[in-house]
Structure 1
């Protein structure tokens, strides 16, 4: 997928789109996304402008966007959306202009509308961030049985 297809699928527009490319490596199991950082990125001007580092929250957003695209590629959500319900992340290194971030997402099978996955972000072969995430997909969640009114 290119940036316009990613934007349409996620319903997220630049500048908040944190990935430029996305491709499925193994259907339902693994995908890779990239983000090429240039000195012109909007966040470099307003977040530690003298150091020019990508905010950790935006690295996490890139991981999330990669994983949710893999979920949407695996399970047809129609018009509904999955949402994050658990995040465990570590940001290990700064990402700076001229870096290309690569996010590798792996997905576990969905159980009762809950999907778990892991994403590792790296640049030049060095891991810069990693996380475990859980997504809830209301379309696939089991509804509790309703008691009949007496």
Structure 2
């Protein structure tokens, strides 16, 4: 069941093609947990440019997809509505299997703690239940950029 579509996601976070890495949100408990999906295809620009003989999603972009998912969770909180979330740090990062064309990357983020405008989330990316990446991400919430709002038009 889709909770948020791509259009609704783009209303929350500033990312746009080619750097938006979430296709839908399937579950959302504000201030607790979110589950989102990225559908990987061979047509992704990074699939053609990163290890072209063995197409896969680069690890840095998997972290970015997890950070975007975390941003949605954070910005759906009444305390941070109308703001922007920024990735501050990635700790305890562990990569497993590769994310390849045809995979559905499931992104799960659980809020661990918040304090003022900062917080920590535990994240995981999986394909068919197999670990692709786990990481603890720290975020900072700040005001939404007014120039960004103008560009969204």
Fold match by TM threshold 0.5 = yes
Match of 1:101 among 97, 102, 105: 105
Q: CA deviation at 1:78?
A: 4.9
Q: Provide the residue aligned with 2:52 in structure 1.
A: 49
Q: CA deviation at 1:83?
A: 1.7
Aligned pairs (5 A) from 1:71-90: 71-88=74-91, 89-90=93-94
CA contact (8 A) 2:122 2:136 kept: yes
1:40, 1:82 → 2: CA distance? Answer: 28
**What is the TM-score with the length of structure 2 in the denominator?**
0.83
**What is the TM-score with the length of structure 1 in the denominator?**
0.85
CA contact (8 A) 1:116 1:132 kept: yes
The 3 A distance-change label for structure 1 pair 14 and 79 is same
**Structure whose residues are more often strand by fraction:** 2
2:141, 2:97 → 1: CA distance? Answer: 31
CA contact (8 A) 2:75 2:81 kept: no
CA root-mean-square deviation: 1.6
Structure 1 segments, 4+ long, off by >3 Å, are 75-80
Q: Provide the residue aligned with 1:146 in structure 2.
A: none
Aligned residues: 139
Aligned pairs (5 A) from 1:91-130: 91-130=95-134
Unaligned residue ranges in structure 2 (runs of 5+): 144-153
Q: Secondary structure of 1:137's match?
A: strand
Q: Provide the residue aligned with 1:40 in structure 2.
A: 43
Q: CA deviation at 1:137?
A: 2.1
Q: Is 1:11–2:14 an aligned residue pair? A: yes
